[in-house]
Amino acid sequence: NAGVTQTPKFQVLKTGQSMTLQCAQDMNHNSMYWYRQDPGMGLRLIYYSASEGTTDKGEVPNGYNVSRLNKREFSLRLESAAPSQTSVYFCASSIRSSYNEQFFGPGTRLTVL
């Protein structure tokens, strides 16, 4: 099993450009999450999907949109990138919401110029 995969690994954008970060899991998990991590900081939740067909805002949702495409895939879209969105983005999944451990992808390092 590949676990949680994320693409791309690295991305450089110019201010105002858009892009979609892809995430997929092959563990048949119900819940999926998008976090961002800034230098020296913990993870902050952007959006999550407790189950297929549902999405909810986390702590820092502004400037982002998400799509739970199916049970396996959960994408994060930046419609108009800003330098403040320069960060490392992690996708994670768990069997069921916060009752179980989360499995993390390797991360996407995004720089917005």
Partner 1 sequence: SQQGEEDPQALSIQEGENATMNCSYKTSINNLQWYRQNSGRGLVHLILIRSNEREKHSGRLRVTLDTSKKSSSLLITASRAADTASYFCATDNAAGAQKLVFGQGTRLTINP
Residue 53 interacts with partner 1 (CB under 8 A): yes or no? no
Residue 58 touching partner 1 (CB under 8 A): yes
Task: Fill in the DSSP letter of residue 27.
Answer: S
Residues facing 66 on adjacent strands: 76
Quick one: which of 27, 98, 111, 113 contacts partner 1 (CB under 8 A)? 98
In this complex, which beta carbon is closest to partner 1, that of residue 13 or of residue 105? 105
10 binds partner 1 (CB under 8 A): no
Q: Which listed residue (90, 93, 110, 112) binds partner 1 by CB under 8 A?
A: 90
Residue 60 found at the interface with partner 1 (CB under 8 A) = no
**In this structure, what token pair is assigned to residue 14?**
């110019």
Could you say whether residue 19 binds partner 1 (CB under 8 A)?
A: no
Nearest Cα residue to 63 out of 19, 26, 32: 19
DSSP 29-92: -SEEEEEEE-TT--EEEEEEESSTT--EE-S--TTEEEEE-SSSBEEEEESS--GGG-EEEEEE
* 7 makes contact with partner 1 (CB under 8 A): no
- Which region, judged by CB under 8 A, interacts with partner 1, from 11-19, 20-28, 34-42, 73-81? 34-42
